[in-house]
Structure 1
């Protein structure tokens, strides 16, 4: 193939317990998948089910990275999330078969320019500038299903400088992992390398330069991110 310039390098995330890396194809994100967070954002979870938005694959950042405070925001937020890594392709996947398409699970931080998101909401515009900016998806090592199983319950917790900000249980998700995979696959054919960030609990809030943000999920360890000076 005669390319006019070198093809971009495929983004990857770490795999727990090995030097191998998991190639990232796409990142899908579930919106408002915890009832308390939906209410926190001014929505009624009984009337508005979760929906999806996306981030570019090259937004991924490894745990332990220092991230510059991003431009064009004065309200930069953390969001702790369980991440599903797809390893087997499929479309129109039945719920009972959905977990067979999962390669593993990771911890993620859906970084958000909250002020830009609010502007987008007010003007009924897409969320891309609020959610899909550079280095906006911190993804920890992927734990293969063979070792981690399928997390359905267990603590999901986020701290900033040692202070607990988010503290919930995976069982509080409105839509379970099989339901998310099945629903998404009826609109978009999933493929190996796709990541799904499954939503965040209540307690989202701001990060400022110098903050250290740590997220833990039962069975998956923890990830950390340091916020550097403004870009």
Structure 2
């Protein structure tokens, strides 16, 4: 039987391993559970070893990424709550490689980024091989798999335009502002436009959607991002967030020190990151 999903973890011997959790395992906390160890790597392929390992510490499912490509305003409900008309092409911005964080890591928040801190739960694509000028008809063949992501955002550096010049990147690019995981659900047989997910803050549901509410599909996003531009293997693409962000709540629901944010995607499991305000 082929591998369906994978995690990266530290075992009881402090060795970094890849493993395959079950669909039921990813619904809860994976640390302390036993998984089958995989040989190989995400881009060359995995084989089952028949050996078991205990998850001492769960890591980001991919060790690193060259870049996070991010899509803004890509859910119809979110566009409506923001009272914005989607443009003719996707809104695109980037996060640097050091924005990556593991699924259970604390997220440190710089003192000047604490006043309007927001979450954005997002389905995240991992690219399997280099590609350029990828047609929509071939786009899904460049997808390694899908994972849960949180596009953490310091809104005080984003809004209003007089502060940011309508540029999103800085507000979203602090270290560890892009936690992903807990696993990568491999792309084979997965319809990325038919997944349910939700974002919770301290257990309270803030966002809930199906990916069929996307304005631009995964295929369209990959084709657009690769137009005249090489998408490198390991690129992580955050595909946009649904309605329910803290910015548009009344009263505002911005994150506070110690808050726990969970982003759970069907078949993938939940991120669970604690917000830690730096002094």
Q: TM-score range by the shorter chain?
A: 0.7 to 0.9
Aligned with residue 86 of structure 1, among 127, 147, 172: 127
Aligned with residue 143 of structure 1, among 185, 198, 223: 185
Instruction: Check conservation: 2:128, 2:142, Cα contact below 8 A.
Output: yes
Aligned with residue 221 of structure 1, among 261, 269, 272: 269
Instruction: Check conservation: 2:125, 2:147, Cα contact below 8 A.
Output: yes
CA 1:156–1:64 in structure 2 vs 1: closer, same or farther (change >3 Å)?
same
Aligned with residue 196 of structure 2, among 130, 155, 172: 155
Give the whole-Å Cα distance in 2 for the aligned partners of 1:178 and 1:125.
Answer: 26
Q: Structure with the greater relative contact order (CA < 8 A, sep ≥ 6): 1 or 2? A: 1
RMSD: 2.1
1:63 is matched with 103
Instruction: Give 1:1-231 correspondences, 5 Å limit.
Output: 14=8, 17=20, 22=62, 23-45=64-86, 47=87, 49-73=89-113, 74-120=115-161, 124=165, 126-140=167-181, 141-146=183-188, 149-205=190-246, 206-231=254-279
Q: What secondary structure does 2:223 align onto? A: helix
Which structure: larger Rg? Answer: 2
Deviation at 1:37, TM superposition (A): 1.1
Instruction: Check conservation: 2:111, 2:277, Cα contact below 8 A.
Output: no
Deviation at 1:112, TM superposition (A): 0.2
- What are structure 1's unaligned runs of at least 5 residues? 1-12
Question: TM-score scaled to structure 1, two decimals?
Answer: 0.86
- What are structure 2's unaligned runs of at least 5 residues? 1-6, 9-17, 21-36, 42-60, 247-253
Aligned residues: 217
Question: TM-score scaled to structure 2, two decimals?
Answer: 0.72
Which deviates further from its counterpart, 14-23 or 89-98?
14-23
Which deviates further from its counterpart, 21-30 or 209-218?
21-30
